[in-house]
Structures are given as structure tokens and as C-alpha cells.
């Protein structure tokens, strides 16, 4: 089995257009060329009273006639930053699709951060009224840096980035690092989360909070909010949005801990149109109606923004298909990994995505 370190992966990721990869994954998902099981999650409290968890996120995706199967295992402890360690880390494992044997292990941190940022950037490009000039980011860790670095490389329109972190020194250091590279952008270290996001055209919260704090009235007309962390928005930010978009409804509906999943379980969320049942037609109007999944927008099955003033919230739960596809791209295209003979040309019906 080939093993790649974080440094190996970082070097290879520079050769890959991550936004293009996640777009192709969404198209495959729209066309039932994926298998996306529910993730499994092990949670515990450690001997320091800190919350820990281990996620196992398998998936299979077929792009351009080539199938890639694998899983991401990523563990986290909320106390790690105080120890000088990354909050989360793990591996992506790739499988031979014929023998099911492990063929490659890759450090997951940069793949995970890169594909997460790519989904957010793609969602913004699909849903903004015009290329963003101002971005508000809450949280100044590795995920914030991955988002801003990718966005600023792609969007010359951006003139202002507002950053807030509970540890202000982190926001200062990130602003300084990015400011050295992106000299046409003004970086403002905001004194509060409200100051960071109010009146910006794109809001990206990337924190570890489990308590919401962003209300609807912080979000200006026309703004796209990509709820990366999943718990930063308050319920009225969803109910006050003109559109709510998710990456994969089945993952949101199965979740018992994050806000939108909890709201669904309490009857406050209507699924996107192609996931609705006859019983949904007779329900009282819920607080939130999910308009579409991202794959529907990319495939043309659903329409995104209809007016420049719409407030749009994107709630990307996180799909292992993207991690597996990115890792597969590195393995096959840049490391000489070979497909094995005996490939099937269809997915078994009971295994198909959605």
C-alpha cells in the first residue's frame, strides 16, 4: 500500500483544480454514478473533559468512466489547539475496485480543507448576484485560510476581507499572511462576529462552535452565506432566507446533532422537491423549505438565484465523495495508480446514491 504524508499531499494538490473536481462529483451524484452511505460517528469525552469524535466517511464515485472507492477517517479533539496540535486530522484510504484491497493511504488534512473550500467557492459562484467584492469570515484557522486562499486566487473582484476569531491574535496572523500575497485586498480584523459579517456579500463561518450566534438581521439582502461549520447560524437565519441549498439532503436528514437536521426532525424543514413524499404535500408550511441540492444547480435541474436581493444560505454537510475523488485524482493522474481489470459498468440499484 502506498502511503503519502501531509507534505506529499500538499505538493500534489497544487496540480489539481479542486473546484473542477468537486463540480464533476456533483454531476456524477446527480446522474446516480455515486454511492454515498451514511457516515458513522464515534463520540466521547476525554480525560480532560473535552469533546472528541471519530468520523468514518466512505464513498464511491464514477467520473469519466473511472470508479474510485475509498473512505475518509478523520478524528478531532476540541482541546488540541491549546496543545499546539491541529483540531482534526486523519487519513483517506483508497480501495482497488476489483479486489477491494487497500492501495493507498493519504494524510487527510489538506484534502479535507481543500475540498471543503472548493465546495464553498463553487456554491458562491453558482449563487452570487455578482462576483463578490467583500467577504466576512468568522474563525481564523486552517479552514479559513484554505477558503480565503482559494477564493482570492480565483476572484480578482474581492477588495475587502473581514476576519474575526475569538483569539484575535489568530485573525491578525492570518490577515498578515494573506496580506503579504494579496496586496490589492484590504484585510480588516474585526472586533466581533457581527462586525465581520454584517453587510458583506459573502459570509463564511468556519468555527468549532455548537451554539448558534448569527441571526437573520446580520445578513444583508443579496448575500450568500455558506454555513461551513453547520452550527453558526441561528434558526431565524434559515427561516429568513429566500433560498436554502444543501449539498446532499440524505446526509442532512440523517444527522441528529447539527441545526438543520434537528429542525428537520422537529418538522420545521421541508426537503428539496425531488426528495418530497406525498405526505409532505399535506403538511403545514414549515419554517424552512430547502430549494435544491447543489448537484441540481450544476446539472440544471434546479434554478439558483432569481433576483439580486435574495438572501441565500448554503448548508454543505460535507460529502466523502469529494475527499475520495480528490484522493483518486492524485493517485491515478499524478502517482501512476492503475485501474484494475474486471471493472463493472453499473452500480447495483440498492447501492446507488441519493
The pLDDT score that the predictor gives to residue 145 is 97
Where does the pLDDT of residue 336 fall: very low under 50, low under 70, confident under 90, or very high at 90 and above? confident
- Cα(159)–Cα(19) distance, rounded to whole angstroms? 22
Right CATH for 2-111+320-351 from 2.120.10.80, 3.30.1650.10, 3.30.1780.10, 3.90.79.10: 3.30.1780.10
- Cα(241)–Cα(102) distance, rounded to whole angstroms? 44
Least confident of 77-86, 225-234, 264-273, 344-353: 344-353
The pLDDT score that the predictor gives to residue 82 is 86
Where does the pLDDT of residue 101 fall: very low under 50, low under 70, confident under 90, or very high at 90 and above? very high
The residues facing 161 across adjacent strands are: 135, 187
Given a cut of 50, whether residue 341 has pLDDT beyond it is no
- Cα(123)–Cα(311) distance, rounded to whole angstroms? 14
Residue 147 in grid coordinates = 477558503
- Cα(255)–Cα(263) distance, rounded to whole angstroms? 10
Residue pair 104/96 in contact (Cβ under 8 Å)? The answer is no
* pLDDT mean across residues, the chain: 92
The pLDDT score that the predictor gives to residue 338 is 61
Model-level pTM?
0.91
The pLDDT score that the predictor gives to residue 335 is 84
Q: What is 196-227 written as a DSSP string?
A: HHTT-SEEEE----SS--B-GGGSPTT-EEE-
The pLDDT score that the predictor gives to residue 120 is 98
Q: Which helix (H) or strand (E) holds 113?
A: helix 109-127
Where does the pLDDT of residue 333 fall: very low under 50, low under 70, confident under 90, or very high at 90 and above? confident
> What percent of the chain stands above pLDDT 90?
84
The pLDDT score that the predictor gives to residue 320 is 94
Query: What fold, for 129-315?
Result: Rossmann fold (3.40.50)
Given a cut of 80, whether residue 343 has pLDDT beyond it is no
Residue-wise pLDDT tens digits, 251-306: 999 988 899 999 999 999 999 999 998 888 877 888 999 999 999 999 999 999 99
Those residues whose C-beta lies under 8 Å from the C-beta of residue 115, and which sit 6 or more positions away, are: 18, 21, 22, 322, 323, 326
Residue-wise pLDDT tens digits, 208-240: 898 999 999 999 999 999 999 989 999 999 999
Q: What is 155-205 written as a DSSP string?
A: -TT--EEEEE-SSHHHHHHHHHHHHHH-TTSEEEE-SSHHHHHTT-SEEEE
CATH 3.30.1780.10 in the chain, residue ranges: 2-111+320-351
Given a cut of 60, whether residue 193 has pLDDT beyond it is yes
Where does the pLDDT of residue 38 fall: very low under 50, low under 70, confident under 90, or very high at 90 and above? confident
CATH 3.40.50.720 in the chain, residue ranges: 129-315
The pLDDT score that the predictor gives to residue 288 is 95
Amino acid at each position: 500500500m502506498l502511503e503519502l504524508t501531509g507534505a506529499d499531499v500538499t505538493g500534489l494538490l497544487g496540480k489539481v483544480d479542486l473546484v473542477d473536481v468537486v463540480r464533476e462529483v456533483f454531476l456524477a451524484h446527480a446522474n446516480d454514478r455515486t454511492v454515498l452511505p451514511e457516515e458513522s460517528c464515534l463520540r466521547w469525552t476525554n480525560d480532560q473533559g473535552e469533546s472528541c469524535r471519530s468520523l468514518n466517511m466512505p464513498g464511491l464515485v464514477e467520473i469519466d468512466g473511472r470508479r474510485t472507492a475509498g473512505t475518509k477517517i478523520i478524528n478531532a479533539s476540541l482541546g488540541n489547539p491549546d496543545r499546539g496540535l491541529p483540531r482534526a486530522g486523519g487519513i483517506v484510504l483508497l480501495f482497488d475496485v476489483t479486489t477491494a484491497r487497500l492501495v493507498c493511504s493519504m494524510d487527510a488534512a489538506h484534502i479535507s480543507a481543500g475540498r471543503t473550500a472548493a465546495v464553498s467557492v463553487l456554491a458562491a459562484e453558482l449563487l452570487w448576484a455578482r462576483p463578490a467584492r467583500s467577504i466576512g469570515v468568522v474563525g481564523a484557522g486552517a479552514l479559513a485560510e484554505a477558503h480565503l486562499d482559494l477564493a482570492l486566487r480565483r476572484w480578482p473582484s474581492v477588495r475587502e476581507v473581514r476576519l474575526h476569531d475569538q483569539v484575535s491574535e489568530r485573525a491578525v496572523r492570518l490577515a498578515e499572511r494573506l496580506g503579504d500575497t494579496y496586496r490589492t485586498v484590504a484585510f480588516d480584523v474585526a472586533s466581533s462576529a457581527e462586525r465581520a459579517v454584517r453587510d458583506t456579500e459573502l459570509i463564511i463561518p468556519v468555527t468549532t462552535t455548537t451554539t448558534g450566534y448569527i441571526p437573520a438581521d446580520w445578513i444583508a439582502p443579496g448575500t450568500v452565506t455558506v454555513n461551513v461549520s453547520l452550527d453558526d447560524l441561528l434558526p431565524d437565519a434559515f427561516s429568513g432566507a429566500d433560498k436554502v441549498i444543501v449539498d446532499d439532503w440524505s446526509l442532512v436528514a440523517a444527522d441528529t446533532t447539527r441545526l438543520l437536521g434537528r429542525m428537520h426532525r422537529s418538522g420545521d424543514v421541508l426537503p428539496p422537491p425531488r426528495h418530497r413524499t406525498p405526505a409532505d404535500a399535506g403538511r403545514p408550511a414549515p419554517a424552512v423549505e430547502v430549494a435544491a441540492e447543489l448537484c441540481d444547480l450544476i446539472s440544471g435541474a434546479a434554478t439558483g438565484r432569481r433576483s439580486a436581493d435574495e438572501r441565500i444560505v448554503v448548508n454543505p454537510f460535507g460529502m466523502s465523495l469529494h475527499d475520495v475523488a480528490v484522493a483518486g485524482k492524485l493517485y491515478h493522474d499524478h502517482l501512476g495508480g492503475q485501474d484494475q481489470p474486471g471493472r463493472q459498468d453499473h452500480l447495483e440499484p440498492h447501492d446507488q446514491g441519493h
